[in-house]
């Protein structure tokens, strides 16, 4: 049985847990209204395709096999034993509206299966959030929406991770997230939606301008979830990025594939405390 009518995943690429040093009122709002942690752990290696792949497919990179290079030139097989949450949702809801708005195009082209009838849009962050707001207004009956904003990672590569310049760009991602939340609020969808805010990795641990290692700066991420069945202000422990797909499935009343490795974080929902 589902506990909400729709799920929205909002991802900030490369933000690690550096949000603690940035002014992020919209993310803070999600933290306060739901459950959160600044100590979640991402996949290894801490690279975008490996980590977003783990979030979407519920298994570690050794199993899903995704890399940045592979995601840029290949499509993910529709018959993989490690389905994405989009495939699980599509099989359960053949007519549902599913959408992926990703600034980094390989997520849409190479990480999400090509034949799941997912509405996929790739464009720069500022344009992306306006398109998302329009989609929400025009399609309030959507079931699953995934968002990836790319600029925090680009700023980390350019200015260094967890540096003041990156913090300023993280604050821009927070403003853009506010546009999405505003659209959901205007459409009166907040009360029966589950919203997950997350990042894929950090950076700057072994190399100031890069990521990929298991250094805590690379490996530790923020993760939050707000919606029905979640007590406001809940603090979570032992969350991994692979748990995200399982949380989405639980919220939508879907059967969790036996191949997935993620679990429901202890104490996230009233019924799994």
Q: List pLDDT tens digits, range 76-107.
A: 999 999 999 999 999 999 999 999 999 999 99
Closest CA to 150 of 134, 172, 130, 132: 172
CATH number 3.40.720.10 given to 6-272: yes
Domain boundaries, the chain: 6-272
Closest CA to 26 of 185, 198, 211, 173: 173
What is the rounded radius of gyration, in angstroms, for the C-alpha atoms of the chain? 17
Please state the length of the chain. 273
Closest CA to 130 of 167, 175, 161: 175
Give the pLDDT confidence of 49-60 residue by residue, as tens digits. 999 999 999 999
pLDDT at residue number 270: 79
% of residues, the chain, pLDDT over 90? 98
The four Cα atoms 62, 68, 74, 80 give a dihedral, to 10 degrees, of: 30
Element (H, E) at 170: helix 164-186
Structural tokens at position 37: 């942690």
Is the pLDDT at 272 greater than 80? The verdict is no
Structural tokens at position 272: 């799994």
Give the pLDDT confidence of 16-49 residue by residue, as tens digits. 999 999 999 999 999 999 999 999 999 999 999 9
pLDDT at residue number 2: 86
Question: Are 59 and 67 within 8 A, CB to CB?
Answer: no
Give the pLDDT confidence of 141-163 residue by residue, as tens digits. 999 999 999 999 999 999 999 99
Structural tokens at position 266: 């202890």
Write the Ramachandran bin of 30: left for phi over 0, alpha for psi from -120 to 50, otherwise beta. Answer: alpha
What is the three-class DSSP state of 55? helix
The residues facing 11 across adjacent strands are 148, 198
Write the Ramachandran bin of 56: left for phi over 0, alpha for psi from -120 to 50, otherwise beta. Answer: alpha
Is the pLDDT at 70 greater than 60? The verdict is yes
What is the three-class DSSP state of 100? strand
Closest CA to 262 of 196, 192, 216, 177: 196
Is the pLDDT at 12 greater than 70? The verdict is yes
Give the pLDDT confidence of 190-242 residue by residue, as tens digits. 999 999 999 999 999 999 999 999 999 999 999 999 999 999 999 999 999 99
pLDDT at residue number 99: 98
C-alpha–C-alpha distance, residues 195 and 141, integer Å: 15
Is the bond into 124 cis (omega within 30 degrees of 0)? Answer: no
pLDDT at residue number 1: 82
């Amino acid at each position: 049985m589902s506990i909400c009518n729709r799920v929205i995943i909002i991802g900030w690429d490369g933000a690690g847990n550096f949000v603690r040093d940035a002014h992020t009122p919209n993310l803070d709002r999600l933290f306060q209204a739901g459950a959160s942690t600044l100590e979640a752990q991402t996949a290894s290696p801490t690279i975008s395709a490996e980590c977003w792949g783990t979030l979407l497919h519920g298994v570690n990179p050794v199993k899903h096999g995704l890399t940045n290079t592979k995601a840029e030139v290949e499509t993910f097989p529709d018959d993989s034993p490690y389905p994405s949450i989009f495939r699980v949702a599509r099989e359960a809801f053949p007519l549902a509206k599913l959408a992926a708005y990703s600034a980094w195009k390989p997520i849409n082209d190479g990480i999400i299966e090509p034949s799941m009838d997912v509405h996929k849009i790739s464009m720069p962050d500022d344009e992306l959030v306006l398109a998302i707001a329009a989609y929400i207004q025009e399609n309030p009956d959507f079931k699953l929406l995934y968002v990836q904003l790319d600029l925090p990672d680009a700023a980390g590569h350019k200015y260094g991770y967890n540096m003041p310049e990156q913090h300023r760009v993280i604050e821009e991602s927070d403003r853009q997230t506010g546009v999405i939340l505003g659209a959901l609020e205007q459409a009166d969808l907040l009360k029966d939606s589950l919203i997950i805010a997350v990042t894929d990795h950090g950076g700057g641990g072994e190399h100031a301008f890069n990521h990929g290692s298991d250094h805590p700066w690379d490996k530790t991420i923020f993760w939050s979830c707000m919606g029905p069945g979640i007590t406001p202000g809940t603090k979570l422990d032992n969350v991994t990025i692979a748990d995200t797909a399982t949380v989405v499935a639980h919220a939508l009343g879907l059967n969790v594939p036996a191949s997935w490795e993620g679990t429901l974080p202890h104490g996230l929902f009233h019924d799994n405390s």
